[in-house]
Amino acid sequence: MSQASSVSTAGDPAREPLTRRDALQGRRSDRAALDAILAAVLARIDANLAVFTDAFPAPSSVDGVYPAIDNIEWTNGFWTGMLWLAYEVSGQERYRQAAERQVRSFKDRVDRRINVDHHDLGFLYSLSCVAAYKLTGDLEARDAALAAARLLLARYLPQAGIIQAWGDLSDPDQAGRMIIDCNLNLPLLYWASQVTGDRDFADAADRHIAQAARYIVRPDSSTFHTFFMDPVSGAPRVGKTHQGFSDSSCWARGQAWGISGFPLVHRYKADPSLLDLSARLANYYLNRLPSDLICCWDLVFTGLPHERDSSAAAIAACGLLELARGLPLSDPDRAAYEGAALATVETLGARYMLPPGAPGTGVLDHAVYHMPNRVGVDEACIWGDYFFLEALVRLTRVWEPYW
């Protein structure tokens, strides 16, 4: 894997000017208000702990309540990640004990290869087993995460320089498809490289992030959801949406995965162009928000009657904070990114939280899982709950990511 892997993009265009920069950079945080929202999220975790210790929340709720599922989805790590965050902020053993039971389930899942034929191993294992290893030194968790990283590396297509997102590698319909969401799966590879000293993990991640920057990010700094490469010749083929409005529109959650994933990769691969890329995506995203800063599910829409996606807003808030952390103090938009993240979290806390309800009730209402298939529309989505809590932790503490 010796091909150049520095990140450069189509002509490296400039960031769009931020239309609301003055308003955003003036935001000041109210620690007591953030602590109150955090306490409400922990109370929701407590209310759900009995249901979701030996079972997991489904990806999206039904009438606000998550059905209980086995460890079979791409989303199971988010709840375990919430348990680890709750343990970190509270020190309460009940969260650690529940998280550790789930870590055993993740070990079993990778040992028995249960639904691991996709790239979402990073989402699954960074937030469960890598978190366990970082917080408690659990060696069994480390080994399970390394096994997951090896499966992820096996999806690397050397000619195309990408990790294939979905499907068996012999499936012609999925051949050579990368997706923007994969930015959040790459930290598992970088972590595995650090732990083992094996450069192959990091080299694959370096190539993938460079290809994502080159082909998934469009010249106007919007993003394709997915992009096909020719797995044999390595040539770029075509951008396609999967969960967005159209092939040429910008799926809001994809943009949020981009805003957050490029700076997370920057933690491992110090390359300032990753921050510049994230900033370009951030300005495109921030300039297309409704007035309360909670995005519609696709950025082609900017208000009613179109559904919001609170989960994308929560991801973007974490991404903006990660971006601001990496940028120099002199960056003209840095304070606006912090202000936008804060305002997003405050709005989510004030207007988008589900009230207490039956066991299994989600945290954030008004998310969208898959609009084209009408799945999880105007419901809670478990990754939205996770990133909302992660954003609250980032805003109230110095925090070392599980990513």
User: Is 385 a residue of the active site?
Assistant: no
Closest CB to ligand GLY among residues 243, 310: 243
Closest separation between CB of residue 243 and ligand GLY, Å?
Answer: 6
Closest separation between CB of residue 93 and ligand GLY, Å?
Answer: 32
Residue ranges that bind ligand GLY, judged by CB under 6 A: 181, 243, 253
Closest separation between CB of residue 381 and ligand GLY, Å?
Answer: 8
Class of residue 30 by CB neighbours under 10 A (exposed 0-12, middle 13-18, buried 19+): exposed
Cis peptide before 355 (omega within 30 of 0): no
Closest CB to ligand GLY among residues 181, 385: 181
User: Is 206 a residue of the active site?
Assistant: no
Closest CB to ligand GLY among residues 243, 260: 243
Closest CB to ligand GLY among residues 181, 206: 181
**Hey, what are 268's tokens?**
């491992």
8 A C-beta contact, residue 60 and residue 369: yes
Closest separation between CB of residue 362 and ligand GLY, Å?
Answer: 15
Whole-number Å distance between alpha carbons of 101 and 84: 12
Closest separation between CB of residue 361 and ligand GLY, Å?
Answer: 21
Q: Catalytic residue among 120, 138, 203, 309, which?
A: 120
Q: Catalytic residue among 12, 54, 181, 271, which?
A: 181
Nearest residue to ligand GLY, scored by beta-carbon proximity: 181
Closest CB to ligand GLY among residues 42, 264: 264
Q: Enumerate the active-site residues.
A: 120, 181
